[in-house]
Amino acid sequence: MDRSRRTPVIAGNWKMNLGPAACRALLEELLAELPADPGCEVLVCPPYLDLPLAAELLVGSPVALGAQNCHWENAGAYTGEIAPAMLREAGCRAVIVGHSERRQYFGETDETAGRRLAAAVEEGLTGILCVGESLADREAGEELAVCARQLAGGLSGIDAAGLSRVILAYEPVWAIGTGRTATAEEAGRVCRALRRMAAERYGEEAAAGLRILYGGSMNEKNARELLAQPDIDGGLIGGAALAAGRFCGIIAACGEEGVL
Ligand code: 13P
């Protein structure tokens, strides 16, 4: 499928790191280092508490703001949750849903991830749906079956029009924060399979426009090879997004001749 239709995305998921003071320092450094036209979409997803400050710092910059989760209702008695409309009001354009850490530690299921994604898209946010197998799934040769199940559940409330506001992120759990990256070929193979699954559900045309990111120990050294895979349209970066130089290195790799 023709990848020229897909603008690459480099997104930083800060997870539960960097409060407002550290957020300011990192974003100021990032904005100073980043070229005016980075050659791809750049997104940062700091903790909720940083969002208003980050929105202010990013005005007029090439960096968009996202959050790390959202609820499926826009208001109500849901202690500790954040609504999609609130994220939008705070200046977010995107939100991550179904991250494996939410699944592993906070009881996220395919069904709840799907409800969050549908609500985010309904609110006009871009939803980044994370899928990916555990080490045990992979050792059992189940990686595609697990991804297919997570994809079907996560996309259950998304129609063909909504898909244009969805980005997929393939994040094998065993590669997250471990320094152990999937080989470029392996990551590329699963991302190709994800695109095929999307094509079965939404048609070739919609699947050809769907951005699929790789995440899991992606850094400034391995980014080029991963991004050169025809079905990998960017990265969802954890640890390496917490240092401006490393994050900019990945963005630069994305813009290199012959990578995308
Ligand atoms: P690391 O880049 O730290 O492995 O984290 C990846 C991730 O989970 C991004 O969402």
**pLDDT over 80 (residue 166):** yes
Report the C-alpha gap between 26 and 23 in whole angstroms. Answer: 5
If DSSP codes are grouped into helix, strand and coil, which group holds residue 206?
helix
**pLDDT over 90 (residue 107):** yes
Q: Maximum CA pair distance of the chain? A: 51
Find the residues whose C-beta lies inside 6 A of ligand 1. Answer: 13, 99, 171, 176-177, 215-218, 236-240
Looking at ligand 1, which residue's alpha carbon is closest to its atom 2? 238
28-42 residue pLDDT tens: 999 999 999 999 999
Predicted confidence at residue 3, as pLDDT, reads 78
- For the chain, percent of residues with pLDDT exceeding 70: 98
**pLDDT over 90 (residue 181):** no
CA 163–ligand 1 middle distance (angstroms):
24
Looking at ligand 1, which residue's alpha carbon is closest to its atom 5? 238
Predicted confidence at residue 2, as pLDDT, reads 67
Interval 12-40 mean pLDDT: 97
Report the C-alpha gap between 217 and 139 in whole angstroms. Answer: 19
The residue among 245 and 258 whose pLDDT is bigger is 245
**pLDDT over 90 (residue 43):** yes
Tokens of 106: 């906070």
For residue 18, which phi and psi values (nearest 5 degrees)?
70, 105
Q: Give yes or no: 71 in active site.
A: no
Residue whose structure tokens are 């994305």: 254
123-140 residue pLDDT tens: 999 999 999 999 999 999
How does the average pLDDT of the chain come out, rounded?
96
CA 218–ligand 1 middle distance (angstroms):
7
**pLDDT over 70 (residue 257):** no
Atom of ligand 1 nearest to the CA of 130: 10
Predicted confidence at residue 19, as pLDDT, reads 98
Interval 83-94 mean pLDDT: 98
Q: Give yes or no: 186 in active site.
A: no
**pLDDT over 60 (residue 256):** yes
**pLDDT over 60 (residue 86):** yes
CA 250–ligand 1 middle distance (angstroms):
13
**pLDDT over 90 (residue 180):** no
Predicted confidence at residue 260, as pLDDT, reads 58
199-227 residue pLDDT tens: 999 999 999 999 999 999 999 999 999 99
| pTM confidence score | 0.97
Do 161 and 121 contact (CB within 8 A), yes or no? no
